[in-house]
Structure 1
């Protein structure tokens, strides 16, 4: 493998391995706000209604909300709240950029209400989550997560609102929720290139740049020439795989961050569980053998069987301790079953 390919793989791995940071949220907010122009006055959305399958316009306004008394939260604050509460991982969150780009092409020269960008992003995040992992949240859960009601901000979405937003977005996308490799590279390039700076630059320079905030401009330092679509092709396709592959990749990356003492504890629990399962068959084999020979050897066999029964509590204790310890480790490290299974077979 050439040095260029090694560098590209390291840059992408570093990007996927890091948690969601403020630079990502700022960039997402900028992209979501560019989809449609939001007017400053509180008016119904001017985004054209979608056309039904029969060719007649739908009666719904689409991406519409009025909060006359309270100010809406900023889009950055809204995205931050969703990420904080939902614990969305970086690959799923960044995939929303692809849907936002498609919507921008469909909704050129359209205008919307102040909350249009909030709703568009939420609908895109829901589709991205369902595309990669359809298990965590229902639309009702998303409605609860998106509500902000404080003394300064107000945004209240019902489950019906979220259902309607999802249907509208699917129709706008022509039900195309796929994430091709070329689209991934185009939309993620501004985010991967700053990561390549982190890979190349010395730590003091990186720290200074992160403190000053990452900008997504086209300066030569931000866009190294070594990052090419061809070089990233072997690894970029990992983000376009089905849900269970994406979760497996994220868990595998996070496995490297688990401290050594927990790796040792997981191995000990695995060995304790294995010892319990080794003792357990011997217990029942001895009992069965003793029962079959009881008629011929009488009290001697019965006495031997009673001694063997003492192995049963030992087997139960070993299995219980090992399984409970493994379950505790699985829960502590965010249900990372990939790491736990790896410790069992290592």
Structure 2
């Protein structure tokens, strides 16, 4: 599909010097020429082939599709004419003019007549010569003047390749622009919970070595402060502990042997639930300070 699009774009281009040069080189590759010294060549010297083609384009006002379709006939003629054949000085001019006439008459409903083409040669060729050239080319082609799309694509490949590359690049750019998110889509994506969670997960501060070392150092400092504020109590200096030991040793086991089940249940309640116990206080004990630990989460 890109070949056909490139061909359509190429047909819309105006005739350029590059096209004229390409046609001249294609015509020169068909047949070799030997110099002659006839009186006709001395009287009317043949112009350069590029200049001759440029004048034909100017006088006939031929457009790119008709002009460049000539390459198909030139390619076919190259495979027909033997390589050991030589022509005169105006042979290449005659070949190109004949192929241009066939292209114009094949592709257009109305084209210049042969007498007009003879005038476009600036006296280089007469009407009879133009008619003879047309008939000879028709015999070479066996009257088959079909111009297929594949023939045009193959003959114009050097011109179509840059256009095809440009079409491919433009399509890739259009695809990128089509898939690119709009500003509103970007804004909604940035505000979505999924994007925020992914951004939070991407923060490496909690897992970095610097952060872990900072947490460990703060933990060590807080543990040192906590241990510095704790005062040990010797077991011999505690009056409360000695009083509890004495009271436990003076208990009579027979006193509680005949108690009822309800009284046992009442007495079996854990003492830790009793709220009226006095808390032991040690003289000189200071209150434990709040640690310097800070919640990083």
TM-score by length of 2: 0.52
Determine the structure 2 residue equivalent to 1:187: 155
Determine the structure 1 residue equivalent to 2:62: 88
Determine the structure 2 residue equivalent to 1:21: 16
Q: 1:8 to 1:103 in 2, by over 3 A?
A: closer
Q: What CA distance in whole angstroms lies between the structure 1 residues aligned with 2:33 and 2:169?
A: 39
Any stretches of 5+ residues in structure 2 without a counterpart? 171-297
Q: How many residue pairs were aligned? A: 169
Deviations along 1:218-257, one digit per CA (max 9) or x if unpaired, are: xxxxxxxxxxxxxxxxxxxxxxxxxxxxxxxxxxxxxxxx
The within-5 A match list for 1:265-276 is none
Q: What CA distance in whole angstroms lies between the structure 2 residues aligned with 1:180 and 1:193?
A: 19
Q: Is the counterpart of residue 32 in structure 1 residue 7 in structure 2? A: no
Q: What CA distance in whole angstroms lies between the structure 2 residues aligned with 1:133 and 1:67?
A: 34
Determine the structure 1 residue equivalent to 2:107: 132
Determine the structure 1 residue equivalent to 2:96: 121
Q: Is the counterpart of residue 99 in structure 1 residue 67 in structure 2? A: no
TM-score by length of 1: 0.45
State the 4+ residue runs in structure 1 displaced beyond 4 angstroms.
Answer: 7-10, 197-202
The offset of 1:199, in angstroms, is 5.5
Q: What CA distance in whole angstroms lies between the structure 2 residues aligned with 1:169 and 1:146?
A: 18
**Is the 2:3–2:153 contact (alpha carbons within 8 Å) kept by the matching residues of 1?**
no
Q: What CA distance in whole angstroms lies between the structure 2 residues aligned with 1:171 and 1:67?
A: 27
Determine the structure 1 residue equivalent to 2:144: 176
Deviations along 1:134-171, one digit per CA (max 9) or x if unpaired, are: 42311000000112xxxxxxx52111110011011111
The offset of 1:182, in angstroms, is 2.6
Q: What CA distance in whole angstroms lies between the structure 1 residues aligned with 2:41 and 2:169?
A: 47
Task: Tell me the secondary structure at the aligned position of residue 193 of structure 1.
Answer: helix
Any stretches of 5+ residues in structure 1 without a counterpart? 44-64, 148-154, 203-346
Q: CA RMSD in A?
A: 2.3
Q: 1:95 to 1:42 in 2, by over 3 A?
A: farther
Larger Rg: 2
**Is the 2:3–2:160 contact (alpha carbons within 8 Å) kept by the matching residues of 1?**
no
Q: 1:193 to 1:140 in 2, by over 3 A?
A: same
The offset of 1:188, in angstroms, is 1.4
The within-5 A match list for 1:1-346 is 5=1, 8=3, 10-42=5-37, 66-108=40-82, 109-147=84-122, 156-196=124-164
Q: What CA distance in whole angstroms lies between the structure 1 residues aligned with 2:53 and 2:43?
A: 22
The offset of 1:41, in angstroms, is 3.1
